[in-house]
Amino acid sequence: MEKGLLYPVTNQFRQDQKLDGLWDFKFDPQAQGEAKGWTTGFDDPIKMPVPASFNDFFTDKDSREYTGDFWYAKKFFVPTYMDGQTIQLRFGAATHRATVYVNGQEIRSHEGGFLPFTADITDAVKLGQENIVTLKMNNELHRDALPAGDTATLKNGKKMAKPFFDFYNYSGLNRSVHLLAVPKNHIYDYSTTYDVSEDQATVHYSVQATDGSNFKVSLSDGDGKVVATAEGQTGDLVVKNPTLWQVRDAYLYTIKFELLDAGKAVDEYSDEIGLRTIEIKGHEILVNHKSVYLRGFGRHEDSIYAGRAFDLNVERRDMNLMKWIGANSFRSSHYPYDEQVYKFADREGILITDEVPAVGFKMAAASFLGGLNQSFFDGDWIDELYKKHIDQVKDMIKRDKNHPSVLAWSLCNEPDTSTDSAVPYFTKLFNDSKDLDPEQRPRTFTLNEDDTFEKSKCLKFPDFYLLNRYPGWYHKWGYEISDGEAGLRAELDEWKNSDIDKPIVFSEYGADTEPGLHKLPSIMWSEEYQIELLDMFDRVFDSYDFIRGEQPWNLADFQTVEGNMRVNGNKKGIFTRDRQPKAAAFYLKKRWTSLPLDY
Ligand SMILES: CCCN1C[C@@H](O)[C@H](O)[C@@H](C(=O)O)C1
Q: Is the CB of 448 under 6 A from ligand 1?
A: yes
Ligand 1 geometric centre to CA of 570 (Å): 9
Q: Specify the residue with its C-alpha closest to ligand 1, atom 5.
A: 166
Atom of ligand 1 nearest to the CA of 414: 3
Tell which of 215, 243, 278 closes a domain: 278
User: What is the DSSP-derived secondary structure letter of residue 481?
Assistant: H
Ligand 1 geometric centre to CA of 48 (Å): 31
Q: Is the CB of 572 under 6 A from ligand 1?
A: yes
Output the domain CATH number for residue 165.
2.60.120.260
Q: Specify the residue with its C-alpha closest to ligand 1, atom 10.
A: 166
238 and 321 both lie in a single domain: no
Q: What are the DSSP E strand ranges found in 263-405?
A: 264-273, 278-281, 284-287, 290-291, 294-298, 329-331, 351-355
501 and 356 both lie in a single domain: yes
Ligand 1 geometric centre to CA of 127 (Å): 50
Q: Is the CB of 513 under 6 A from ligand 1?
A: no
> pLDDT tens across 268-309, in order?
999 999 999 999 999 999 999 999 999 999 999 999 999 999
Question: Which one is predicted more confidently, 478 or 378?
Answer: 478
485 and 580 both lie in a single domain: yes
**What DSSP string runs through 79-135?**
-GGGTTSEEEEEES-EESEEEEEETTEEEEEEE-SSS-EEEE-TTT--TTEEEEEEE
Q: Specify the residue with its C-alpha closest to ligand 1, atom 1.
A: 448
192 and 157 both lie in a single domain: no
236 and 360 both lie in a single domain: no
57 and 156 both lie in a single domain: yes
* Residue 364, pLDDT score: 61
Q: Is the CB of 570 under 6 A from ligand 1?
A: yes
Which percentage of the chain shows pLDDT scores above 70?
98
Output the domain CATH number for residue 251.
2.60.40.10
Does residue 7 lie in a domain region? no
Average pLDDT, the chain: 96
Kindly list the catalytic residues: 414, 508
118 and 207 both lie in a single domain: no
Q: Specify the residue with its C-alpha closest to ligand 1, atom 8.
A: 166
Alpha carbon distance 25, 55 (integer Å): 12
Kindly provide the ipTM of the predicted complex, given to two decimals. Answer: 0.99
374, pLDDT greater than 70: no
Mean pLDDT value of segment 439-444: 98
Ligand 1 geometric centre to CA of 166 (Å): 6
Q: What is the pTM of this model?
A: 0.97
390 and 450 both lie in a single domain: yes
* Residue 371, pLDDT score: 47
372, pLDDT greater than 80: no
Domain range for residue 48? 15-182
51 and 158 both lie in a single domain: yes
Mean pLDDT value of segment 474-500: 96
> pLDDT tens across 380-408, in order?
999 999 999 999 999 999 999 999 999 99
User: DSSP 3-state assignment of 448?
Assistant: coil
Tell which of 151, 182, 213 closes a domain: 182
Task: Specify whether the CB–CB gap between 503 and 280 falls below 8 A.
Answer: yes
102 and 202 both lie in a single domain: no
Burial 221-249 (b: 16+ CB within 10 A, else e): beeeeebbebeebebebebeebbbbbbbe
Stretch (H or E) spanning 507:
strand 504-508
Stretch (H or E) spanning 21:
strand 21-27
Atom of ligand 1 nearest to the CA of 508: 4
258 and 191 both lie in a single domain: yes
Ligand 1 geometric centre to CA of 283 (Å): 26
Domain count, the chain: 3
237 and 340 both lie in a single domain: no
